[in-house]
Structure 1
Amino acid sequence: MREILENAYGYIFEEELINEILKVSQYKKFKADEYLIEIGDYIKTMPLLIHGAIKILREDENGDEFLLYFLERGDTCAMTLTCCMGQHKSKIRAVAETDGEMLMIPVEKMEEWLTKYKTWRNFVFESYNVRLNEMLEAIDTLAFKNLDERIFKYLSDKVKVLGTTEIANTHQEIASEMHTSRVVVSRLLKGLELQGKIKLHRNKIEVLVF
Structure 2
Amino acid sequence: MQLQDFDFYDELTSDEQELLLKTLKPVSMDAGKILFYQGDITQDILLLEDGEVRVYMQGSGMNEITLYSLRQNEQCIVNTTSTINQIPTIGSAITTTPIRGYLLNKELVVKLMRDNSNYQSYIFSLLTLRLDSVARVLENIKFKHLDERIYEWLQAQKNPTIQITHEELANYMGSSRVVVSRILKKMERESLLKLSRGSIELIHNF
Tell whether the structures are fold-level matches, with TM greater than 0.5. Answer: yes
Deviation at 1:135, TM superposition (A): 0.5
Q: Secondary structure, in 3 states, of the residue corresponding to 1:91?
A: coil
Tell me the equivalent position of 1:205.
200
Tell me the equivalent position of 1:174.
169
Decide whether aligned partners of structure 1 residues 109 and 195 sit closer, same or farther in structure 2, where only a CA change above 3 A counts. Answer: farther
Deviation at 1:194, TM superposition (A): 6.6
- How many Å separate the matches in 2 of 1:54 and 1:156? 20
Question: Number of residue pairs matched?
Answer: 201
Decide whether aligned partners of structure 1 residues 140 and 186 sit closer, same or farther in structure 2, where only a CA change above 3 A counts. Answer: same
- How many Å separate the matches in 1 of 2:111 and 2:20? 12
Single out whichever of 108-117 and 29-38 deviates more from structure 2. Answer: 108-117
Deviation at 1:209, TM superposition (A): 4.7
Structure 1 position 64 matched with structure 2 position 63 = yes
TM-score (normalizing by structure 2): 0.85
Contact 1:53 1:99 (C-alpha < 8 Å) held by counterparts: yes
Letter of the aligned partner of 2:123 in structure 1? V
Tell me the equivalent position of 1:137.
136
Tell me the equivalent position of 1:50.
49
Q: Secondary structure, in 3 states, of the residue corresponding to 2:100?
A: strand
Decide whether aligned partners of structure 1 residues 205 and 13 sit closer, same or farther in structure 2, where only a CA change above 3 A counts. Answer: same
Tell me the equivalent position of 2:3.
5
- How many Å separate the matches in 1 of 2:168 and 2:146? 15
Deviation at 1:181, TM superposition (A): 3.7
- How many Å separate the matches in 1 of 2:116 and 2:205? 42
Contact 2:26 2:102 (C-alpha < 8 Å) held by counterparts: yes
Letter of the aligned partner of 2:51 in structure 1? G
Decide whether aligned partners of structure 1 residues 124 and 165 sit closer, same or farther in structure 2, where only a CA change above 3 A counts. Answer: farther
Contact 1:55 1:69 (C-alpha < 8 Å) held by counterparts: yes
Decide whether aligned partners of structure 1 residues 115 and 182 sit closer, same or farther in structure 2, where only a CA change above 3 A counts. Answer: closer
Deviation at 1:12, TM superposition (A): 4.3
Contact 1:13 1:119 (C-alpha < 8 Å) held by counterparts: no
Q: Secondary structure, in 3 states, of the residue corresponding to 2:41?
A: coil
Residue pairs, 1:22-101, within 5 angstroms: 22-101=21-100
Decide whether aligned partners of structure 1 residues 189 and 80 sit closer, same or farther in structure 2, where only a CA change above 3 A counts. Answer: same
- How many Å separate the matches in 1 of 2:155 and 2:125? 24
Gaps of 5+ in 2: none
- How many Å separate the matches in 1 of 2:71 and 2:45? 15
Q: Secondary structure, in 3 states, of the residue corresponding to 2:9?
A: coil
Contact 2:53 2:95 (C-alpha < 8 Å) held by counterparts: yes
Q: Secondary structure, in 3 states, of the residue corresponding to 1:95?
A: strand
Deviation at 1:41, TM superposition (A): 1.6
Letter of the aligned partner of 2:196 in structure 1? R
Deviation at 1:130, TM superposition (A): 0.8
Letter of the aligned partner of 1:66 in structure 2? I
Give deviations 1:178-209, integer Å, cap 9, x for gaps: 3434343233224445777x532423223465
- How many Å separate the matches in 2 of 1:18 and 1:201? 49
- How many Å separate the matches in 1 of 2:163 and 2:17? 36
Please report the RMSD computed on the Cα atoms of aligned residues, expressed in angstroms: 2.4
- How many Å separate the matches in 2 of 1:18 and 1:100? 23
